Amino acid sequence: MVAPTRGVHYLWIVQNDRLHRVLPGTGEWHVVGGADWRGPASIAAADGALYIINNDRLHRVEPDSGAWQVLGGPDWGGKAFLVKASRGLFAVQNGYFHRVEYDGSWQVLGDWVWQRTLAMTTTPTSIYAIRDKENGFPEGSLWRIRPSGAPERHLELRNFVGTSAMTSIGELLYFVRKDTLIRVNLDAPRAPDRFKVIGTAGDWAGTQAMCSLAGKLFIVENDRLHSVDPTSGAWTVLGDPAWPGSAAMTILGVPQRSSIDSIPRPSGGLPQRDRRVRAERRSGTDKAKPVRTRRNTR
């Protein structure tokens, strides 16, 4: 395995059960670790490590080698969205919004209102989520999540049904709805300027994942990784069509030193909910699975 260059920001893509480190300028990629990530995954980067929700568990992953450590128990069954915000890690799973510490302890914030979440992202100041159509909101809706976990809907913005991916650049939100890239500028003074199609409608059918880095968008669509201009929508394919079945993507700069043992672990953590509530928010089975501690050497 080729070692990463220190101080460089990479894209990290989970695809076909494996974690990949990708150079954003060329699309050149290397597999990191083994076939450890079977099934749906959600990924975020924080404090020099990757955090992945997969197979009902939260993992902390060493970016140099792909070695990983399970944090906590099988608390994350069902579809999950994991993001890094200024206040730490946050997740939406089984209808609840959680604050998650780096040691895996978590706390539910707010009520059971996020069961129809389609996508989630952060800006420097806020956390946003898109929810599918529901009673009273047949076209879907964009919400800002308050620190308490309470939702705050942006009433003037509609047409979010079919959203497949979401990210941000600064305070601008970008999402792919069905086959079209759209920018949302909540600070625009005129309502018509707050919701704008970027590029050509129809460019992004089959979008699998999206993130941003250094003022550009990166979109995995139809098995290809694209670098996208966020103003014009002009795009360039990076590398070969190597990304069928991509599950998740994030960014992380490789620090000067990197080790699972060097990742800060807060003392005390956050209080767990009681066992009854934890069981209710799982995805239908409470059968315990073997806890993995590190990947096997291959």
Residues 171-200, mean pLDDT to the nearest whole number: 91
Question: What is the Cα–Cα distance from 100 to 59, expressed in whole angstroms?
Answer: 12
Domain enclosing residue 268, as ranges: 9-280
Residue 201 has pLDDT above 50, yes or no: yes
276 by DSSP, 3-state: which?
helix
Within a domain: 23: yes
Lowest mean pLDDT among 63-72, 195-204, 276-285: 276-285
> What pLDDT is stored for residue 6 in this prediction?
67
Domain contains 153: yes
Residue 228 predicted with pLDDT over 90: yes
Model confidence at 156, pLDDT cuts 50, 70, 90, reads low
Domain-located, residue 181: yes
pLDDT score, position 135 = 61
Measured CA to CA in angstroms, residue 154 lies from 12, 151, 234 at distances of 31, 10, 29
CB 58 within 8 A of CB 70: yes
Whether 194 is in a domain gets the answer yes
Model confidence pTM above 0.85: no
Mean pLDDT across the chain: 82
pLDDT at 295 over 50: no
Per the domain annotation, does 287 fall within a domain? no
How many domains, in total, are found in the chain?
1
93: CATH: 2.120.10.80
pLDDT value at 66 more than 50: yes
The per-residue pLDDT for 47 is: 84
Whether 101 contacts 266, CB under 8 Å = yes
Q: What is the pLDDT of residue 137?
A: 67
pLDDT band at 182 (very low <50, low <70, confident <90, very high): very high
Residue 202 has pLDDT above 50, yes or no: yes
Q: What is the mean pLDDT of residues 184-198?
A: 87
Let me know if residue 1 belongs to a domain: no
Exposed, middle or buried: residue 176 (CB in 10 Å: 0-12, 13-18, 19+)? buried
In a domain, 126, yes or no: yes
pLDDT score of 76 more than 50: yes
Tokens encoding 39: 């099934």
Output the CA–CA distances (angstroms, integers) from residue 57 to 40, 69, 288, in the order listed.
11, 10, 11
Q: Is residue 66 part of a domain?
A: yes
Taking only the tens place, the pLDDT of each residue in 263-277 is: 333 333 344 443 334
